[in-house]
Amino acid sequence: MSNEKIKAELEKYEAAVAKAIEKTPERKHLPEQRLYTPLDVKGVEAYTDEIGFPGQYPFTRGVQPTMYRGRFWTMRMYAGFSTAKASNERYRYLIANGGTGLSCAFDLPTQIGYDSDDPISEGEVGKVGVAIDSLADMEVLFDQIDLGKVSTSMTINAPASVLLAMYIAVAEEQGVPADQLRGTIQNDILKEYAARGTYIFPPKPSMRIITNIFEYCSKNVPKWNTISISGYHIREAGSTASQEIAFTIADGIAYVDAAIKAGMDVDDFAGRLSFFWNAHNNVLEEVAKFRASRRVWAKVMKERFGAKKPKSMMLRVHTQTAGSMLTAQQPNNNIIRVALQTAAAVMGGTQSLHTNSRDEALALPTQESVTIALRTQQIVANESGLADVIDPLAGSYYVEAMTDRIEKEAWDYIKKIDELGGAVAAIEKGYIQKEIQDSAYKWQMDVENKRRIIVGVNEYTMEEEPPKGLLKVDASVGIEQCKKLADLKAGKPINKMTKGRDNEAVKAALAELKEACKKDESENLMPHILKAVKTYATLGEICNVMREVFGLYEAHVSL
Amino acid sequence: MDKIRVLVAKPGLDGHDRGAKVVARALRDAGFEVIYTGLRQTPEQIAQAAADEDVNVVAMSILSGAHPHLFPKVVNLVREKGMKDTLIIGGGVIPEGDIPALKQAGIAEVFTPGTPTTAIVDFIKANVK
């Protein structure tokens, strides 16, 4: 059928719509365009360049040739709370119940490089994740878990180098060589400045540590994903779908730039870069976002950086359902939200997925809630059919048009950020933060003005009993952790140690690390950190040395 | 009364400040004078800022679960500065069961997820001294 004929029919349809609206007006606050037709998408001649086939450039339809027909995505539940022992039990429970990868949540002192006994850690130990002070805790965290078999993701950024070193050291104790280790460190400092807040050092030394990790892992831990460039937290902070992928890909460009500047060949490290998206409420927009993001990244890597290997151009992604969309009201409704978000992530072609639990607007999830969240993935995988055919929404006029729109919006932002001098400069100027804040405020006002309905919050509300049986991390966890730490620092054996740590060796390793920090970026910090970690130097001790040399990041505060 | 002055504060190590910023902006749009501390403030820093800025209200946000420890500490330090009438409120991911103890400790009201910003504005207008 020719476009002319479609246009003529469309005009007739529009006339009919005008009449229908007279009788029954449409609901308010809907997207402007009510219907998509072949007129809204590129013709079939653009197919191979813009859409193509799964596993082939520009990867719009996915990064693997067979996608979930070969193997489902990794069902990776983010978990960690209280002590290493309690978290280890949760990990083993998840593996026993069909979880296929681990994902470690660390408490805030760990994420910001402070020991549990630091005054600033008071009240925070073991709260949002597990407290890790030294290799001794890491040994307990992975007790009876074969690091040669499992793949482990660690949500750790500013001190990622230290936690990775601890992981390598535990594996070595288990007899697993570093080149067999599989997993991911988040290691994405730029989004910490822009949206998540667990930064320590200023951008320059932070970028040096990150490129040091890229280089070290390319030689020693080749199966490890050295970074998870994260849009998740940008979205959680309030951005739109287009902003999520635009700001994140701009961050990605900054990391690639830094590594190339440090002398690396793009194809030596780009294949280990991974991404992290949010799966939000609007199912079809999310699917389009995943597809657009793969196409943008592929073009960036090929055209901007001249990557040669297809692997360097693939946007591989972990996904988490949107925490900020969980409601404290009628918490069981969150199960439905998470199921829809899961469907979006799967139709979007994610490589791994964490599903949130129904009670997370109230507290850390209980084991029962986590089980429902994991089962949600298993139901979508096995029962829904969504995983059986690759990229099932391709060719939908709406989804293809939206994929094109999100791609265009992302390019516009990337161009703007280039003009500001790149992602680091754009963050230092507060530009990215301001864009996110504006979107967050608009969202909140839309909810308050009922332009956006959230079930149980601004519509369909009801009186409820406060929920019972929430998980609570007792204050005694902090006290216990500090006691253990005091023993370690005093040179007493703890856990399975046969003798306590040698404080002279700790001092020497820290002094060596300090000297290495003072040198330029060609001095790779990883071997020095690994050495310090093996003496049972604590995370706080190591980060304090780095703080002394590198200084602290001063945040840009604006409203 | 002059313009109501509000310190929006993020005590502790929590980096989630979407809520704090949205509330700060809504309070500003409602005609209040708003100062935002930025992230990672100790209770001592918050009390000092409250005194320096001579605020009528301290509005804190915590999503990390550290509220039982940090909220009361801020109340005590603010009161020690002689700010007897300063209205101190809190919000964030705070389980219902924790609220009575926080109120006992001097937090005038606790706003949990889903609260419209207008509810916070109205509460401040009705209770500020």
For residue A353, the cross-strand partners are A75, A319
The β-bridge relationship of strands A224-225 and A352-354 is unpaired
Chain B contact for A127, CB < 8 A?
A: yes
Contact residues on chain B for A472, CB-CB shorter than 8 A: 95
Which of A72, A46, A45 lies closest to A295, judged by CA? A46
Indicate if the pLDDT at residue A1 is higher than 80: no
User: Looking at the domain assignment, is residue A408 inside a domain?
Assistant: yes
- Is B70 an interface residue toward A (CB < 8 Å)? yes
* Closest residue to A127, CB basis, from B28, B34, B64: B64
Tell me, yes or no, if B22 comes closer than 8 A to chain A by beta carbon.
yes
Who's near A37: CB < 8 A, 6+ residues apart?
Answer: A6, A10, A397
pLDDT tens-digit map of A491-518: 999 988 888 999 999 999 999 999 999 9
B117 and A CB contact within 8 Å: yes
pLDDT tens readout for residues A324-382: 999 999 999 999 999 999 999 999 999 999 999 999 998 889 999 999 999 999 999 99
Q: Flag whether A237 is in a domain.
A: yes
How many angstroms separate the CA atoms of A517 and A498, rounded?
A: 32
Contact B69 A475 (CB under 8 A): yes
State the best of A82, A128, A193, A479 to mutate against chain B, taking most chain B CBs within 10 Å.
Answer: A128
Please, which residues have CB within 8 angstroms of residue A315's CB and are 6 or more apart in sequence? A59, A63, A275, A293, A294, A297, A298
Query: How many other β-carbons are positioned within 10 Å of the β-carbon of residue B27?
Result: 23
Q: Output the pLDDT for position B90.
A: 98
Q: In which domain, by residue range, is A380 found? A: 60-448
Within 8 A by CB and 6+ apart from A93, the residues are: A367
End-to-end CA distance of chain A: 53
A241-261 vs A397-419: helix crossing angle, rounded to 10: 50
Instruction: Output the pTM of the full model.
Output: 0.96
Burial letters for A506-522: b for 16+ Cβ neighbours within 10 Å, e otherwise?
beebbeebeebbeeebe
Q: What is the mean pLDDT of residues A38-52?
A: 95
List the domains of chain B with CATH numbers. Answer: 5-127 (3.40.50.280)
Is B30 within 8 Å of chain A by CB? no
When scoring A444, A543, A552 by the number of chain B Cβ atoms within 10 A, the one with the most, hence best to mutate, is A444
User: Which residues in chain B are closer than 8 Å to A236, comparing Cβ atoms?
Assistant: 16, 18
* DSSP string covering A456-488: TTTBS----PPP-------THHHHHHHHHHHHH
ipTM of the prediction: 0.96
Give me chain A's average pLDDT, please. 96
pLDDT at A407 > cutoff 60: yes
pLDDT for the residue numbered A268 = 96
> Does the residue A317 lie in any domain?
yes
Taking residues A212-237, report their average pLDDT. 97
Beta-carbon contacts below 8 Å between A and B: 108
Tally Cβ neighbours within 10 Å of residue B102. 20
CB A420 within 8 A of CB A430: no
Query: Strands, DSSP E only, in A71-158?
Result: 74-79, 101-104, 151-154
Q: Which residue of A has its CA nearest to B35?
A: A559
From B23, B56, B61, B54, select the one nearest B39 (Cα to Cα).
B61
Tokens standing for A5?
Answer: 């004929």
Hey, are the CB atoms on B117 and A473 less than 8 Å from each other?
Answer: no
Q: Is the separation of the CB atoms in A551 and A201 below 8 Å?
A: yes
The mean pLDDT of A48-64, rounded to a whole number, is 97
Predicted local confidence at residue A469, as pLDDT = 85
CATH of the domain at A153: 3.20.20.240
Residue A190 pLDDT exceeds 80:
yes
B120 touches chain A (CB under 8 A): no
Residue in A112, A236, A329 closest to B114 by CB: A329
**Within-domain flag for A397:** yes
Q: Which pLDDT belongs to residue B1?
A: 64
Query: Which two three-digit tokens encode residue A363?
Result: 């507290």
Tell me: pLDDT of B51 over 80.
yes
How much of chain B, in percent, has pLDDT values that exceed 70?
99
Question: Is residue A491 in a domain?
Answer: no
Question: What's residue B71's pLDDT?
Answer: 98
Residue B45 contacts A, CB cutoff 8 Å = no
In the predicted structure, residue A522 carries a pLDDT above the cut 90: yes
A441 CB neighbours in chain B (<8 A) are 21-22, 25-26
| Identity of the residue in A448, A473, A557 whose CB atom sits nearest the CB atom of B65 | A473
Residue B36 contacts A where some CB pair is shorter than 8 Å: yes
Given CB atoms, is A20 within the 8 Å cutoff of chain B?
no
**Given an 8 Å threshold on Cβ–Cβ distance, is A466 in contact with B96?**
yes
Q: Does any domain span residue A107? A: yes
Closest CA to A42 of A411, A408, A412: A408
Give yes or no for a contact between A432 and A426, defined as CB atoms under 8 angstroms apart. Answer: yes
Would you give the DSSP letter of residue B97?
G
Cα–Cα distance measured from residue A275 to residue A319, given in angstroms and rounded to the nearest whole number:
8
- Examine the pLDDT at A149 and tell me if it is beyond 60: yes
CB neighbour list of residue A391: distance below 8 Å, 6 or more residues apart: A54, A60, A61, A62, A67, A291, A347, A349
Inform me whether the C-beta atom of residue B39 falls under 8 Å from chain A C-beta atoms: yes
- At residue A456, the pLDDT reads 97
Mutation pick from B7, B8, B10, B13 vs chain A, by most beta carbons of A within 10 Å, is: B13
A377 part of a folded domain? yes
Give tens-digit pLDDT for A431-450. 999 999 999 999 999 999 99
Closest CA to A106 of A481, A546, A492: A481
Length of chain B: 129
SS3 content of chain B, % helix, strand, coil (to 5): 45, 20, 35
Q: Chain B contacts of A437, Cβ < 8 Å?
A: 21-22, 25
> What is the predicted pLDDT for the residue at A192?
97
Asked whether residue A482 is assigned to any structural domain, the reply reads no
- Report the residue from B18, B26, B38 with minimal CB separation from A236: B18
Q: Which amino acid is present at A343?
A: A
A150 and B CB contact within 8 Å: no
Is the minimum CB–CB distance between A455 and chain B shorter than 8 Å? no
CA–CA min distance B43, chain A (Å): 10
Q: Using CA atoms, how far apart are residues B23 and A559, in angstroms rounded to an integer?
A: 10
Taking each continuous run of H as one helix and of E as one strand, the counts in chain A are 21, 9
CA distance A187 to A205: 13
Residue A178 pLDDT > 70: yes
Report the 10 Å Cβ neighbour count for A202. 16
**Residue A236: partners with Cβ closer than 8 Å, 6 or more residues away:** A195, A278, A322, A323, A324, B16, B18
The CA-atom distances, in angstroms, between A552 and each of A121, A158, A204, A274 are: 17, 11, 11, 27
Q: Which positions 399-438 of A are in contact with B (Cβ < 8 Å)?
A: 437
Residue A335 pLDDT: 98
Least CB-CB distance to A559: which of B21, B42, B70? Answer: B21
Using the predicted structure, report yes or no on whether residue A152 has a pLDDT greater than 90.
yes
Summarize pLDDT for A10-35 with one digit per residue, the tens. 999 999 999 999 999 999 999 999 99
Domain count, chain A: 1
* Cβ contact, residue pair B18, A197, below 8 Å: no
Torsion sign, CA atoms A83, A84, A86, A87: positive
Per-residue pLDDT for A269 more than 90? Answer: yes
Query: Which stretches within A420-559 are classed as H helix?
Result: 423-428, 431-448, 476-489, 503-518, 526-534, 539-550
